[in-house]
A and B are shown apart, each in its own frame.
Chain A
Amino acid sequence: MALRRLDLTFPPLQATKPITYHLVKDFGLTPNILRAQIQPGQQGRMLVEVTGAKAAIDKGIRFLEHEGVLVGAAASDIVLDEEQCVTCGLCTSVCRPEALTLTDDTRELRFDKDQCVYCEACVIACPRRAITLEF
């Protein structure tokens, strides 16, 4: 079994084919949608984690590309540079899954990577550019 994290971009005119259904039904994959922003008539984006046989994942990707979806590799890791961080806490306000929080007593920044969905909101918000994605 393999796991790939994919960054999917849907062109504005992409037919509304239920692609996750096909990934499950036709390729035996288990897609886990981490983040999705899809509206009719607009470019959409989906961050999805796909688990399955390696060959099946490759076939699934070819299917997506055939459907006009742009498939990119999503970040494989997210790194907090503690040397650059000034513990302002601004990132915690945009972190919906609450992976980034301030401790109650010392108000130091805590990063629970298991909760992170790689949405990148903190990467943009951090005024110190202390949070970066690795591919």
Chain B
Amino acid sequence: MGEGLFCCLEVRNMSKSWDEINERIAAGEAVVVTAEEFAVIAQEDGVSSAAAKVDVVTTGTFGPMCSSGAFLNFGHADPPLRMSEILLNDVPASGGWAAVDTYLGGTEWSRGRGMEYGGAHVIEDLLAGKAIRLQARSPGTDCYPRLEIDTWVTLEDLNQAYLFNPRNAYQNYAVAVNSSDRTLYTYMGSLLPHLGNATFCSAGALSPLLNDPEYRTIGVGTRCFVAGAPGYVAWQGTQHNPNQERDGNGVPVAPAGTLAVIADLKQASPEYFSAATFAGYGVSSFVGIGIPIPVLDEDLAAQLALTDADITATIFDYGVGHRSRPSLGRVSYAELYSGEIEVEGERVRTGPISSTETARRIADEVKRWVSEGRWTLVEPLEPLPGAGGPSFKPLEIKTEEAI
């Protein structure tokens, strides 16, 4: 990439190309740090100096990401069947694929144990090497004469098993409170009445999409740590909303961009994929996501240098049972992590749902992969839709006559 061109356009701005950074990685010379480490360097030496010194910044997040699941292929029994009704440890999986393919959704509940065991638990058990009971029924056809099967499979037995998570790594999220007079059981945890607590769910300054808020380096084809496995960004995530309100740094102040990611389940680890049951709500999956970001120029470096004190989230009242919940103001992640915030003049105890401790381990792991040259960086094959692109639309309830 023409470095000279960049210099002409933005005189002050140092810039590096993807190729230059990848050459440094290949030569074992790249300076790779985590987003938290980068912020310290930028504070001490200034953003320009940090941008010149550091080649790659790594990010990480580990929180519940409901829209997750896995494609599995079981291989054919003899005689074969076309699995149309499928249970894995009593959890229904989709039968609407080719004969022995399925998609197991993470939030699916077990028939017998309800939300205490679900699709995410099956995936966690597969990752732990446990045998899973597979029961399936087939309509019986000439090519697939068998009518049913009842057997046990392990992750090793499966031909293909890959995570394909349609919506992960949310770029920022809401702070949830409850102004109503009863406890609400939500995907944001137990929300105590009368603003009794506040929960939030983002890795903040470590979060992948908060470090590249305008999607300059993360796009289709980006290498991505998924639950411990090397994977890829496959597409924009569902409900990707680049048009969310942004602050002066270009960072969204509420839920915005999302990623669809893909990775080999056989290379994933139960250390970075954990099933979850939220009381009164249902099943979800804690998924570890980490992305390396090349320090292309000072503008990006300034965004990479942002800390939890600079990034804010919007407080929403989940006590209002409508699609549009009223906002009760904005707070920084530094305030949220202090354990207490002020809402409507009251001190409210806070608690995260996303593990900083694990997010840091992921950012460190990605740092190791890049430093050791296991990963070079890939320029996106196609960018994610940016601001001005399509927004996330609601679902209107219509009658056939009204269409």
Contacts and interface: CB of A to CB of B under 8 A. Distances in A.
Interface size class of A (residues with CB under 8 A): 20 to 34
Given A86-B62, A90-B199, A125-B279, 8 more contacts: A87-B355, A88-B63, A90-B189, A94-B189, A124-B190, A127-B284, A127-B353, A129-B116
26 contacts: A86-B62, A86-B286, A87-B356, A88-B353, A88-B355, A89-B353, A89-B355, A90-B189, A90-B351, A92-B339, A92-B349, A93-B197, A93-B198, A93-B349, A94-B189, A94-B351, A96-B349, A101-B339, A125-B279, A127-B189, A127-B276, A127-B278, A127-B284, A127-B286, A129-B116, A129-B277
B350 A88 contact: no
The A interface is mostly helix, strand or loop, or mixed, namely loop
Nearest to A84: B274
Contacts of B62: 86, 88
Contact of B286 (A88, A96, A125): A88
Interface in A112-134: 121, 124-125, 127-129
B190 A86 contact: no
A17 to B, nearest CB: 28
Interface stretch (A26-34, A44-52, A102-110): A102-110
Nearest to A103: B357
Contacts of B339: 92, 101-102
A99 B278 CA distance: 21
Nearest to B279: A124
A7 to B, nearest CB: 19
Contact of A94 (B116, B192, B357): B192
A107 B199 CA distance: 15
Contact of B274 (A89, A90, A94, A128): A128
B354 interface: yes
Nearest to B351: A93
Nearest to A92: B351
A91 interface: yes
Interface in B347-371: 349-358
Contact of A88 (B116, B337, B354): B354
The B interface is mostly helix, strand or loop, or mixed, namely strand
A90 B277 contact: no
Contacts of B274: 86, 128
A102 B352 contact: yes
A96 B348 CA distance: 11
Interface string A60-99: 0000000000000000000000000011111111101000
A91 B274 CA distance: 16
A124 B183 CA distance: 12
Nearest to B277: A127
Contacts of A91: 351
B21 to A, nearest CB: 30
A90 B358 contact: no
Contacts of B356: 87, 89, 102, 107
B292 interface: no
Interface in B254-310: 274-279, 284, 286
B230 interface: no
B95 interface: no
B279 A86 contact: no
A129 B189 CA distance: 13
Question: Which of A102, A106, A108 has most chain B Cβ within 10 Å?
Answer: A102
B285 to A, nearest CB: 10
Contacts of A121: 190
B276 A128 contact: yes
Given A94-B190, A94-B192, A125-B189, A89 B276 contact: no
